[in-house]
């Protein structure tokens, strides 16, 4: 008996009386067949569901056989035929080198996000990302880490404030990818990732069930790091910097409190009304840095708000920008990359939607989840720190980054959704 199951696709209706119409893959002696219709978006979802079906049946090795397997159909199948620990193997029908690289990068992103919080903490996250990028481009990488109280000396007050209560010190990681090795080369883009390696909520503490998956709160950092890895593999020849804002949001006698005021390096003051709105506090330091180095393009990614999930679910990521032309280009890129992305509202006046009587702004509204429009208000907070009044800046609230349980499309855990779109944006 073969140790590998062949998987075919066919373009005619299935006539298998023994199988339910809801079955994405129909099994026979020759293997599995996926019957497709005329709508390609629906076809890709069905192919991904077929991958999940075969994984849940206990199949661990497949060969994509026959005609009709273009790159996107193979990638959709790969996303479905992936258990949480990425142990399944695929023999590709075509484009094997590119698909293997994509699957390996996605597996690395998922592994980072899925690691338990006793293994992934600010310094270990920074080191794992450093090791990966150094291995991919050893002659083009320079790394700077600012750790613990050194953050105060550098004025990175958001990262330090959020992370100071943990025994694992907070870290700001800057990875400089400079393929021309010209120290004076302009920085084409800065990628900023929220790297909250565990989020208790601080004194605005989460419930036990709400805290269980909070190892995934560094999903933004993993996603932008994976995007840079993928872009380098695809031939990126521009200078790009990766900035990861890493901290554990925990509680002890030194933890930041409701009513505290943070003064940032650019002079802006922020009153804390919710210690569980910590992601925007650390990202502000990254945005200030991006302005200091005059980056042309700035992209941040974060598992920032539950409100984004309420708006778009977990099949999509949410996009915010006040740069309409750039936002539309990015939505087009996401469509090309077959990653679901939806733009949510952001206007200049969103900067003022979290008012404070004691500081320039509060970090949220003093309501559960930040109240109505919470995702836009969080983006509005970030807009305060984005250079050039937000021109050239994109904010990804990655609502689809993690699933607490398996579903018809994804295994339990991280998805890596978004890394292809961000990588393609760098290459464009």
pLDDT tens-digit series, residues 131-159? 999 999 999 999 999 999 999 999 999 99
Nearest to 148 by CA among 266, 258, 288, 246: 246
Q: Are residues 115 and 149 in the same domain?
A: yes
Give the pLDDT band of residue 69 (cuts 50, 70, 90).
Answer: very high
- Average pLDDT for residues 336-356, to the nearest whole number? 98
Q: Are residues 303 and 171 in the same domain?
A: yes
Q: Is residue 101 part of a domain?
A: no
Residue in this structure with the two tokens 């979802």, named with its chain if needed: 45
Q: Is residue 284 part of a domain?
A: yes
What SS3 state is found at 279? helix
What SS3 state is found at 202? coil
Tell me the longest C-alpha to C-alpha distance in the chain: 73
In sign, the C-alpha dihedral spanning 285, 286, 288, 292 is: positive
From 60, 94, 128, the end of a domain falls on 94
Cβ–Cβ under 8 Å, residues 245 and 192: yes
Q: Is residue 128 part of a domain?
A: yes
Q: Is residue 99 part of a domain?
A: no
Query: Residue 75's domain spans which residues?
Result: 5-94
Q: Is residue 249 part of a domain?
A: yes
Q: Are residues 246 and 358 in the same domain?
A: yes
Q: Are residues 377 and 411 in the same domain?
A: yes
Given a cut of 80, is residue 343 above it in pLDDT?
A: yes
Q: What are the tens digits of pLDDT across the range 95-125? A: 999 999 999 999 999 999 999 999 999 999 9
Nearest to 244 by CA among 400, 120, 341: 120
Give the pLDDT band of residue 384 (cuts 50, 70, 90).
Answer: very high
Q: Are residues 336 and 418 in the same domain?
A: yes
Q: Are residues 187 and 327 in the same domain?
A: yes
In sign, the C-alpha dihedral spanning 284, 290, 291, 296 is: negative
- By annotation, the residues acting in catalysis are 206, 280
Q: Is residue 337 part of a domain?
A: yes
Q: Is residue 67 part of a domain?
A: yes
How many domains does the chain divide into?
Answer: 2
Q: Are residues 77 and 136 in the same domain?
A: no
Backbone angles phi, psi at 273, to 5 degrees: -110, -5
Q: Is residue 406 part of a domain?
A: yes
- Average pLDDT for residues 412-428, to the nearest whole number? 97
Q: Are residues 363 and 221 in the same domain?
A: yes
Given a cut of 90, is residue 54 above it in pLDDT?
A: yes
Q: What are the tens digits of pLDDT across the range 206-216? A: 999 999 999 99
What pLDDT is recorded for position 1? 45
Q: Are residues 322 and 229 in the same domain?
A: yes
Q: What are the tens digits of pLDDT across the range 260-297? A: 999 999 999 999 999 999 999 999 999 999 999 999 99
- Average pLDDT for residues 398-412, to the nearest whole number? 97
Give the pLDDT band of residue 312 (cuts 50, 70, 90).
Answer: very high
- Average pLDDT for residues 54-70, to the nearest whole number? 97
In sign, the C-alpha dihedral spanning 352, 251, 225, 424 is: negative
β-strand pairing of 26-28 with 31-35: antiparallel
- CATH number for the domain harbouring residue 375: 3.40.630.10
- Average pLDDT for residues 182-194, to the nearest whole number? 97
């Amino acid at each position: 008996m073969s140790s590998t199951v062949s998987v075919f696709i066919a373009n005619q209706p299935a006539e298998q009386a023994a199988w339910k119409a809801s079955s994405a893959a129909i099994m026979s002696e020759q293997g599995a067949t996926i019957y497709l219709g005329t709508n390609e978006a629906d076809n890709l979802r069905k192919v991904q569901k077929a991958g999940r079906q075969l994984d849940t049946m206990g199949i661990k090795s497949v060969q994509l056989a026959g005609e009709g397997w273009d790159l996107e159909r193979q990638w959709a199948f790969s996303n479905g035929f992936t258990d949480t620990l990425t142990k399944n193997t695929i023999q590709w029908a075509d484009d094997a080198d590119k698909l293997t690289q994509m699957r390996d990068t996605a597996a690395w992103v998922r592994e980072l996000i899925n690691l338990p919080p006793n293994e992934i903490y600010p310094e270990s996250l920074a080191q794992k990302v450093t090791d990966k990028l150094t291995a991919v481009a050893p002659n083009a990488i320079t790394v700077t880490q600012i750790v613990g109280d050194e953050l105060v000396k550098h004025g990175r007050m958001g990262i330090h404030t959020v992370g100071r209560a943990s025994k694992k010190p907070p870290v700001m990681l800057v990875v400089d990818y400079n393929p021309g090795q010209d120290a004076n080369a302009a920085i084409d883009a800065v990628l900023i990732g929220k790297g909250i390696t565990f989020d208790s909520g601080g004194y605005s503490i989460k419930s036990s069930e709400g805290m269980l998956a909070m190892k995934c709160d560094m999903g933004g950092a993993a996603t932008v790091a994976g995007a840079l890895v993928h872009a380098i593999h695809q031939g990126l020849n521009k200078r790009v910097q990766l900035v990861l804002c890493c901290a554990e949001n925990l509680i002890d006698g030194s933890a930041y409190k409701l009513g505290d005021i943070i003064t940032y390096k650019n002079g802006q003051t922020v009153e804390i009304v919710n210690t569980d709105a910590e992601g925007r506090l650390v990202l502000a330091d990254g945005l200030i840095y991006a302005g200091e180095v005059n980056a042309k393009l700035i992209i941040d990614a974060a598992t920032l708000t539950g409100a984004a999930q309420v708006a778009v679910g977990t099949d999509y990521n949410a996009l915010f920008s006040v740069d309409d032309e750039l936002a539309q280009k990015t939505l087009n890129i996401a469509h090309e990359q077959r990653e679901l992305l939806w733009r949510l509202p952001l206007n200049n006046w969103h900067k003022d939607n979290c008012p404070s009587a004691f500081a320039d702004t509060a970090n949220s509204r003093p309501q559960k989840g930040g109240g109505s429009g919470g995702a836009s208000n969080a983006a509005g907070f970030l807009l305060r720190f984005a250079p050039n009044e937000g021109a050239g800046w994109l904010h990804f609230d990655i609502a689809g980054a993690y699933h607490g349980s398996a579903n018809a499309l994804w295994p339990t855990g991280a998805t890596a959704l978004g890394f292809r779109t961000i990588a393609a944006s760098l290459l464009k």
